[in-house]
Every structure is written in structure tokens, then in C-alpha cells.
Amino acid sequence: MALIPWKSREAWSDPFRELEQIQNTMNRLFDVSLGRHTGKELMAWDTEWDPAVDVYDSKDAIVVKADLPGVNKEDIDISVLNDTLVIKGEKKQEKEVKEKGSIRSERFYGSFQRAITLPGGVDTGKVTAAYKNGVLELALPKKEDAKPKQIKVDVK
């Protein structure tokens, strides 16, 4: 025999209440599994974060753009070792808020590090970097022998 949990009259009068509870439960599951953390959970996650990165392969260079909002350019360290580009640094928290009026804190603080494997043929001695409006842009020029060459074919 199956037991049905007791519900008050109000619960029976609103047929969408159970659907709303199911939706809230699913939202909590997705928040945890997709890395969206809120409230007290965030304290365990605020020591390291990964900035979003775009990598483009243009004709003359490999271009890397990294979103580093709120990071001072002095706190960014860029290095190339063999065929690996490493971007690391730290986003410092401006002021710690420990007031009861704080409802939500979703911004990440702390150290970060991204390692990106580069294709062979990058001239590491000519890398340029620009940092504007929280976006770091690196241009890693290709060596002459790594650039694509066009060969014409004669049709006879």
C-alpha cells in the first residue's frame, strides 16, 4: 500500500505549487552542477577561478583574449614555456563586506591560472600584450616557416 504525504487544503487549492517546488529543486541542482554558487557556498569557491579565454588563429599570429575584469595589470603574469602560454595573476577583493544586509555575492576573487597549448611555430620573442577595459589581448606572431603559403598550380 502506498502512503501519500499529508497536504493542507491550501496545497490542494494551488495545482502549480508542486510544479514550482520541482522547478526550485531542479534550479538548485543545476546551480551546483554548472558551477553557479551563491551565498555561503561561495566561500569555499572564492580562492581560485578561471577567466574566460578566446583563442583565434589568424594568418600572421595566434590571438588570445582573456576576460580579467577587476584585475590590475600589475597583478597579471604572462609567460610562454615551450608551446604553452600561461596567464596567471590575482584578483584582489576591494573591501570585505560582513554585514547582515548582504544578500548575495557571486563575484570571484583570488588567484587564477590558465595554461593554453599553442600550435608549433610561434615566435615567443615577439609576443605583444594589451590590457584594456578588463580584457587582456595577446598577439603571438607566427614564425615565417609556420605561416601558410599559397602555391599556384599551372593547368596544362
Task: Domains for the chain: give ranges and CATH numbers.
Answer: 16-43 (no CATH), 48-93+109-146 (2.60.40.790)
- Number of neighbouring beta carbons within 10 Å of residue 93: 13
State the amino acid at position 35 in one-letter form.
Answer: G
Give the E-state strand segments of the chain in sequence order. Answer: 48-49, 53-57, 61-67, 76-81, 84-91, 110-117, 128-132, 135-141
Range of weakest confidence among 20-29, 69-78, 97-106: 97-106
Model pLDDT, residue 35: 56
How far apart (Å, rounded) are the C-alpha atoms in residues 27 and 9? 27
Instruction: Read off the pLDDT band of 45 (50, 70, 90).
Output: very low
Q: Find all residues with CB under 8 Å of 9, minimum gap 6, and list them.
A: none
Query: How far from each other are the two terminal CA atoms of the chain, in whole angstroms?
Result: 87
Model pLDDT, residue 76: 94
* Residue that the C-alpha cell 583563442 belongs to: 55
Average pLDDT over residues 115-143: 89
Residue 135 has pLDDT above 90, yes or no: yes
Output Rg (C-alpha) for the chain, integer angstroms. 25
Q: Report the percent of the chain where pLDDT is more than 70.
A: 68
Instruction: Read off the pLDDT band of 74 (50, 70, 90).
Output: very high
State the amino acid at position 27 in one-letter form.
Answer: N
Range of weakest confidence among 66-75, 78-87, 96-105, 127-136: 96-105
| pLDDT: which is higher, 40 or 90 | 90
